[in-house]
A and B are shown apart, each in its own frame.
Chain A
């Protein structure tokens, strides 16, 4: 959607790591004690002398002063230790145990055992020289081993018993509700609502078996015929996983909701994410339409220009230090390093959390419990980001950048398909690169509002 004219948007929605067996914990922000000027200076000096990256020192300094401004009390020594630990973690080789995410664990193993390595190679199938080597047979063997060790789904996991038609109806109702929520909350002007209706109807839902949902629309202009309209594919497997994870959180917090209510919340959460992609797409289509009638430029040129301009706007208006830090040693605008892909997920995940909040409240969850759930989700997102950064850092130690590693993963995925091993595909990340960062660093509601207002 954001990177080029006719890209299929595939948005995986699994904010609570349903596939990875993680258990969100509610952690309150670490408290800090007031920071006198001299203590701050001494600490800065110590960190500089300890050889910690000066940018990290600056960020840590800002955080501590802000914590002081917020009047937090507590153990700042703990903070300092955490900071030094983070830096140490960056420089040291991780172990497999440190990775909770299944796909991160496997990627770590593929790199650590040199099954994927940075020796250039050639592949007659691909016809050009590759900057890496993938030992296909060994890779498949490793993926099969991990697959065999995966816990088999229990009866409880297979809760989904509705027919496709009932689920389609429920998903349509959920999408209608999602649109209402964003209208009620003032995110969508009448004009924007009208334009959204040009692209998709709430009933344009397809039920598929996948563990992700996705919004599909291939054209750079609004559809002229109903059969060209956008479609949301709703993945049954993802609904099951989200229901299971939401159920676990509710049960840990002592919140009693029925399976039907949990299903409804899961659907609204997932469809809010997809709706974020829809709004993003509509804003771009509107701009393309405006330009094409006045500019005399070719459609694809205009589409690419509009994408670039909107993506640049997002990066400029909502700068993300974590993202920029990761991009520092990466090629500009590669397939796996194009910032627009990250912002696309930042927008969609921002929508998702707004939708989830509203769904929880409308199912009777108290405002304070909603806050706690959100806190838990953000904590989990931060943990996942740290884990991802650890993987990136390790791949750099092994001579890869994100772009080359992404290509190597695609290469392996190609051979899985070619050799009929498609059941192993879910052992590799569904999408790789900085797009993933977007799931962990969503835009907040004010930023989403600003994004819409500035591009509408």
Chain B
């Protein structure tokens, strides 16, 4: 079993983040904190990142985008949260697999690796 954790980029995840991004645009346009042309140029920039080649690519590009435009920080935090959830799930799955085979030491190692 591999000791590194890799994440597949789920299309649904990308869609979710895109929706969250649009929601921020909608709210900001409504409350007047964003001008139409700013929203357009941010959206153009966002679209220029597509397609994402991997989860890492996705996280990196959105991270850089958020650094430039902190008002969208929420979407990056969402990505980090989802990443953490997926990784935790993967670790649990690996632990379960070891425990099923009565390999308790290996199961414990999985947790140590995470740290």
Q: What is the interface of chain A, defined by CB distance below 8 A to chain B?
A: 35, 37-38, 40-41, 44-45, 48, 53-55, 57-59, 61-62, 65-66, 68-69, 319, 321, 324, 327-328
Asked whether B36 lies within 8 Å of A44 as measured between CB atoms, the reply is no
Query: Secondary structure at chain A's binding surface: helix, strand, loop or mixed?
Result: helix
Asked whether B22 lies within 8 Å of A57 as measured between CB atoms, the reply is yes
Chain B interfacial residues counted at CB < 8 A:
24
Question: Contacts A37-B32, A44-B25, A65-B37 given: A58-B51 contact, CB under 8 Å?
Answer: no
Question: Contacts A54-B15, A324-B50 given: A68-B36 contact, CB under 8 Å?
Answer: yes
B107 to chain A, nearest CB (A): 37
Closest B residue, CB atoms, query A66: B40
Rounded to whole angstroms, the CA-CA distance of A379 and B29 in the bound complex is 33
Q: What is the interface of chain B, defined by CB distance below 8 A to chain A?
A: 15, 18-19, 21-23, 25-27, 29-30, 32, 35-37, 39-40, 43-44, 46-48, 50-51
B36 to chain A, nearest CB (A): 5
Instruction: Please give, as numbers and ranges, the residues of chain A lying within 8 Å of B35 by CB-CB distance.
Output: 37
A61 to chain B, nearest CB (A): 6
Rounded to whole angstroms, the CA-CA distance of A416 and B37 in the bound complex is 56
Asked whether B48 lies within 8 Å of A65 as measured between CB atoms, the reply is no
Closest A residue, CB atoms, query B30: A41
Instruction: Please give, as numbers and ranges, the residues of chain B lying within 8 Å of A38 by CB-CB distance.
Output: 29-30
21 A-B Cβ contacts within 8 A? A37-B36, A38-B30, A40-B29, A41-B26, A41-B27, A41-B29, A44-B22, A44-B26, A45-B26, A48-B22, A54-B15, A55-B50, A58-B46, A61-B25, A61-B40, A62-B40, A65-B39, A65-B40, A66-B40, A324-B51, A328-B51
Closest A residue, CB atoms, query B47: A58
Instruction: Please give, as numbers and ranges, the residues of chain B lying within 8 Å of A54 by CB-CB distance.
Output: 15, 18-19, 21-22
Instruction: Please give, as numbers and ranges, the residues of chain A lying within 8 Å of B48 by CB-CB distance.
Output: 319
Instruction: Please give, as numbers and ranges, the residues of chain B lying within 8 Å of A65 by CB-CB distance.
Output: 36-37, 39-40
Indicate which residue in A48, A62, A68, A324 contacts B23 across the interface (CB closer than 8 Å). Answer: A48
A393 to chain B, nearest CB (A): 16
Indicate which residue in A37, A53, A321, A328 contacts B47 across the interface (CB closer than 8 Å). Answer: A321
Instruction: Please give, as numbers and ranges, the residues of chain A lying within 8 Å of B47 by CB-CB distance.
Output: 55, 58-59, 62, 321
Closest B residue, CB atoms, query A324: B51
Rounded to whole angstroms, the CA-CA distance of A35 and B29 in the bound complex is 12
- Looking at B35, B36, B37, B51, the one whose CB has the most chain A CB atoms below 10 A away is B36
Indicate which residue in A35, A40, A55 contacts B18 across the interface (CB closer than 8 Å). Answer: A55
Instruction: Please give, as numbers and ranges, the residues of chain B lying within 8 Å of A321 by CB-CB distance.
Output: 47, 50
